[in-house]
Each structure stands twice: as structure tokens, then as C-alpha cells.
Amino acid sequence: MKTNCSHQPDCLKLIQRILDKEASAEEEARFLANKDQCLPCQEGHELELALRKALKTSCHSKCPSSLLESIRSKISSIILLILLLIPLFCWFI
């Protein structure tokens, strides 16, 4: 196995595009075929996966229910306002 990858910057970009689902099927197949022979690419792939997993498990927050209620009531008052204003407007014309 290679312990040195001569085109690592390009490999890393490809790894990221593959994980972002933006690489073509050929690019992905080519990477997977070479991965077993290249240690830096294997480690790079594992690191990118680990980072995504860590972000998904750590950066979570739920919308507080008070916020949802507050938005709903604001929307209700807008609707009410529109319902009142439109007939008024028509009446003046």
C-alpha cells in the first residue's frame, strides 16, 4: 500500500465531492478502486466521514415550541388584518 499520495490535494477534493454527492459515478468508482492501495486517501476518507458524523451528532437544536406558537399567532393577526382591511378598502372605493 502507498503511504504517500502524490496527488493528495486533488484526492481530498474528490473525496469531499463524493461525500457531498456531487461526483459522477465514474469518479466515485475510480476513487474506490484506488482507495485500497493508498493509505493517505483511506485516512482522508475516514476523517471526512468522522467530521460529518460529529457535526450531525453535535450541532442539533430544536425549535422551541414557544417560537412556533408565537409565529402562528403572528400569522393569525396578519390574516385578520388582511380580512379587515380588504373590505374596508373596497368600501371606500
Partner 1 sequence: MSTEIDTAPALTESQARALFEKEFVPHLDAMYNFALRLTNDEDDAHDLVQDTCMRAFRFIGSFEPGTYAKAWLFRILKNNFINDYRKKSRGPTKVEFEWVEQSFAGEDDPEPAFQADLQAETVNEMLGDEITSAIQALPVDFRMIIILCDLEEFSYEEMAKILNIPIGTVRSRLHRARAMLKETLASYAMKKGYKTDMLSA
Binding site for partner 1 (CB under 8 A): 9, 12-13, 16-17, 20-22, 43, 46-64, 67-68, 70-71, 74-75, 78-79, 82-83, 86
Residues of the shown chain interacting with Zn ion in the complex, contacts defined by CB under 5 A: 5, 11, 38, 41
Residues 6 or more apart whose CB falls under 8 angstroms from that of 27 comprise: 14, 17, 18
CA separation for the pair 79, 39 (Å, rounded) = 61
Cell readout for 40 is 493517505
CA separation for the pair 15, 22 (Å, rounded) = 10
Nearer to partner 1, 29 or 86 (CB): 86
Query: Which of partner 1, Zn ion, none does residue 5 bind to, with CB < 5 to 8 Å depending on kind?
Result: Zn ion
Nearer to partner 1, 19 or 34 (CB): 19
